Chain A
């Protein structure tokens, strides 16, 4: 977890440096260019938020088997996670969003079936998750 944390914090550090450089340099050259500064600050936060969470955790947990170079495959045995083998709901939800996108262009009436599909897909997802499919 430590490498992952450093990786994400590294994103934040890079954007902090480049963002500050860009801000100061443009301000010096005749007026800070704020759209670029704002996007760089956003990217800084994108690294900072998950990075600091990972860093916080990496100090509070033992290295996982995948963090240790001497781990054996047996150490990874047990339940890995839930992996449903098939589900129709992603398709239904995708088609719902497709209809809503088309509704914005061709007429808002198309959004009605789209919303209906999304609601049914969301319901289907939830019900399906209770069945499991664990590996």
Chain B
């Protein structure tokens, strides 16, 4: 009986092409179409952007640590929070998971040799990089970068209120990175639909891959609308159109103009913007769902429930855009409130399943698992305050205050940072053949965990006391100083934790690559490839009979439950070398 069934064609082809793996160093970076190289490019670029955006956040916190502070000018403060938000949301959180990790991991998890369109994949990366540079180029123009917030509301973003090259570069940057995301989405959907290994049915896909598929569909829904909104904004700024402008009476020499409506911009933006929140969150849910079962030594509790919960969250997220616009007074409050509250149900299912997976498992508290638990706590807090904000009366009271700031930072920091770095610690051995140092990793986690709560919990209180978001200064007598100082201290503790990460990466780089192919005793196919995986990934594949093929292969005696096809597992088979 053949246990290791080889893909003969690949092996033969691979040997033939062994010396044609492409150029090295800079040329490799410029010309590679290997999904692993492109994935690492994405991750490296987006982490640099993460550090830049984090430094901007520290500058914001320094300004707010004192009442009537003059650390930066008001205009600079506007530029700081605009670029902090734009870099974090458009250029880090999405591309890191979606361009980076998904690019690297999804073809491995489905058993594919590469992404479906390797050159389109490389093209996406170059669009992402040039879009990022375009957006940041504003900082070296005479009039400075964009300063209208990451949402760029009209009419604040029109040519009268935001003149200069910075806002134009911002819009162009959004356009380029938007197309990059769309192309990657097409690539991922095609890869998942057409390049799965035999036996890898849809309901045996790892949850990370499922979440990436759902995220890709969300991107295809949301990003074209953002691009359209930007085209209209550009036309308003440069071609004299009136899409987002109210009309004007006839004045000397100028005829009357009927004009458009500024709220149209908000509709277009948030129809992108709210799915975007889940484009940022779902991949990270996927990471957590990969890690928690591996470190609980149990199969995932409720596989199908997890898949359908992901779909439900994604679907509902496209019907809630105007809950960001409750206070405009022109949206249908009950509709948007109802759908927003409904999202709590599938999210609750996810939480239930994560806890059910850990329940009575043999939990190993390695660094990736610690980050996942940090993610659960952070996202729970952010999610619960989100449920509160979905209720219009509470939203009216707290809209545009620090309560909202604390809410979305807890959600996004919880997902993109806690779960994102869980993913880094988890897949680092696969990418580089070495495990990151455990002690430094735990130090990173605890510093970040403490810093996180110290930073954002005071902001809830500040918000309830009425501190508006996006203010650069406040008077001393309102009594916000102490909590702002606490929040700033927390932010610097978070900053320190990321210095620890850099130390960890440098320390680990000096060690020998001895992690092996499967250091965590993982479940899914990426742990069957070598570390780092060879060109075109697999020379052989294990039989795929459940959603945990590698676990089944390494533990033939374990009673495994084949989720997904609803059938009993195949009988354990004798295995040769292992």
Smallest Cβ distance from B124 to chain A, in angstroms? 8
Asked if residues A101 and B134 are in contact (CB atoms below 8 Å), the reply is yes
Smallest Cβ distance from A81 to chain B, in angstroms? 7
Residue from A78, A97, A106, A134 with most neighbouring chain B CB atoms (10 Å): A97
Question: B44 interface residue, CB < 8 Å from A?
Answer: no
Smallest Cβ distance from B180 to chain A, in angstroms? 9
Smallest Cβ distance from B150 to chain A, in angstroms? 19
Q: B116: which A residues are within 8 A, CB to CB?
A: 81
Of B5, B172, B321, which is within 8 A of A74 by CB?
A: B5
Annotate A107-135 by CB proximity to B: 1 below 8 A, 0 otherwise: 00000000000000000010000000011
Residue of A nearest to B6 (CB): A73
Asked if residues A65 and B199 are in contact (CB atoms below 8 Å), the reply is yes
Number of interface residues of A (CB under 8 A): 60
Q: How far is the CA of A84 from the CA of B123 in the complex (A)?
A: 13
Q: How far is the CA of A4 from the CA of B191 in the complex (A)?
A: 12
Q: How far is the CA of A18 from the CA of B564 in the complex (A)?
A: 29
Q: B199: which A residues are within 8 A, CB to CB?
A: 65-66, 68-73
Q: How far is the CA of A77 from the CA of B11 in the complex (A)?
A: 10
Chain A facing B: main interface SS = helix
Q: How far is the CA of A66 from the CA of B195 in the complex (A)?
A: 8
Question: B465 interface residue, CB < 8 Å from A?
Answer: no
Asked if residues B13 and A135 are in contact (CB atoms below 8 Å), the reply is yes
Asked if residues B123 and A94 are in contact (CB atoms below 8 Å), the reply is yes
Annotate B179-209 by CB proximity to A: 1 below 8 A, 0 otherwise: 0000000000000010111111111100000
Asked if residues A66 and B33 are in contact (CB atoms below 8 Å), the reply is no
Q: Which of B264-319 contact A (CB under 8 A)?
A: 264, 267-268, 271, 311, 315, 318-319
Q: B21: which A residues are within 8 A, CB to CB?
A: 85
Of B5, B20, B23, B172, which is within 8 A of A102 by CB?
A: B172
Of B127, B267, B322, B543, which is within 8 A of A72 by CB?
A: B543
Asked if residues B221 and A105 are in contact (CB atoms below 8 Å), the reply is no
Of A4, A26, A65, A85, which is within 8 A of B198 by CB?
A: A65
Given A73-B6, A81-B195, A105-B168, CB of A36 within 8 Å of CB of B536: no
Annotate B103-133 by CB proximity to A: 1 below 8 A, 0 otherwise: 0000000001110101111110111011101
Q: How far is the CA of A135 from the CA of B111 in the complex (A)?
A: 14
Asked if residues B332 and A26 are in contact (CB atoms below 8 Å), the reply is yes
Asked if residues A85 and B20 are in contact (CB atoms below 8 Å), the reply is yes
Of B30, B267, B567, which is within 8 A of A36 by CB?
A: B267
Given A3-B201, A73-B198, CB of A10 within 8 Å of CB of B311: yes
Known: A66-B197, A69-B201, A90-B122. 8 other contacts (CB 8 A): A3-B203, A4-B202, A69-B545, A73-B540, A73-B544, A77-B8, A85-B32, A90-B121
Q: What are 13 A-B residue pairs whose CB atoms fall within 8 Å in the complex?
A: A3-B201, A46-B220, A65-B199, A69-B201, A73-B5, A80-B112, A81-B113, A90-B123, A94-B125, A101-B131, A101-B172, A104-B172, A105-B169
A residues with CB within 8 A of B: 3-4, 7, 10-11, 14-15, 18, 21-22, 25-26, 29, 33, 35-36, 39-40, 42-43, 46, 65-81, 83-91, 93-95, 97-98, 101-102, 104-106, 125, 134-135
